[in-house]
Amino acid sequence: MKKKLLWTVLGLLVVLTFVWPMIPLATAESRLKALPAQGNHFRSRPLELDQADVDFLGKATAVQHIVAVRGGGRMILTVIDGTRDRHAVHDPSYCFSGAGWKISQRKPVFTAKGEAVLAMMTKDGQTAEAMWFFDDGKHQFASPFDFWLRTSSRRITAGLSGNEPILVMLRSLPGHPIDWSKVQTDVLPEMGF
C-alpha cells in the first residue's frame, strides 16, 4: 500500500513538473502598451530595441521610449514584462556593467508606491544616472530577490497571487542631467507607475 501511494505521488509530481509550466499566465503586456506618449511633465516617443536586446530578452516583452522631461533632461525608459521568460529580468546593475558603465554610487530612493534604486555611473569620461524598480501595479520595490519570490509565487498559484511585476528602468542620456525628484513625484505617476 505504501509503495503504491509513493508511486502515485511520484507520478503526480512528474506530471505536475511538466504540465504546470504550460499553464498560461496573464501577462503585463497591456501595461507596456498603455504607456502614454505625453503628460503634463513629459513627452516621449518609442525607441526600437536593438537586435542584441531582442535576442537577450527571448520570450520576454519589452518597450523602450526616449523621454523628454519638461523643464530639461532626457532619458531612456525601458520596461520589461518577464511573464514568458522571467530569466530575462534581473538586477539592472548587471546590464549597465555589461554595457561598460561603472556604477560609482547606488542608493535607495522612495517613490509614491514604494522603493527604487538611483545609481550614478561613468563610462569613457561620460556620466549618466539611472533609476530602476519592479512594479506590480500596486507596489514598487527594488529587490531582485523580491521579484523572484513574487514571480515564483505567481507561477505556483497559476497567477492567483497577484499581477506580474514588470521591470522599469530609466537612464539619463550623457550630458542631460535629470531632476529625479520631479521624475519620482510627477513623471512616474503620469506614466502609470
Q: Helices in 20-107 by DSSP H: which ranges? A: 29-33, 51-57, 92-98
Is residue 2 a part of any domain in this protein?
A: no
Residue 107 has a pLDDT of 96
Is residue 110 a part of any domain in this protein?
A: yes
Is residue 115 a part of any domain in this protein?
A: yes
Residue 22 has a pLDDT of 63
Residue 73 is part of which domain span?
25-191
Q: Is pLDDT above 80 for 29?
A: no
pLDDT band for position 42 (cuts 50, 70, 90): very high
Is residue 168 a part of any domain in this protein?
A: yes
Asked whether the beta carbons of 122 and 102 are under 8 A apart, the reply is yes
Is residue 91 a part of any domain in this protein?
A: yes
Q: Is pLDDT above 70 for 21?
A: no
Question: Quick one: residue 100, left, alpha or beta (phi over 0 = left, psi -120 to 50 = alpha)?
Answer: left
Residue 180 has a pLDDT of 92
Is residue 17 a part of any domain in this protein?
A: no
Question: Quick one: residue 192, left, alpha or beta (phi over 0 = left, psi -120 to 50 = alpha)?
Answer: left
Domain count, the chain: 1
Residue 15 has a pLDDT of 66
Is residue 173 a part of any domain in this protein?
A: yes
CA of 128: how far to CAs of 42, 76, 103, 172, 175, in Å? 19, 11, 9, 6, 7
pLDDT band for position 32 (cuts 50, 70, 90): confident
Whole-number Å distance between alpha carbons of 57 and 80 = 9
Is residue 8 a part of any domain in this protein?
A: no
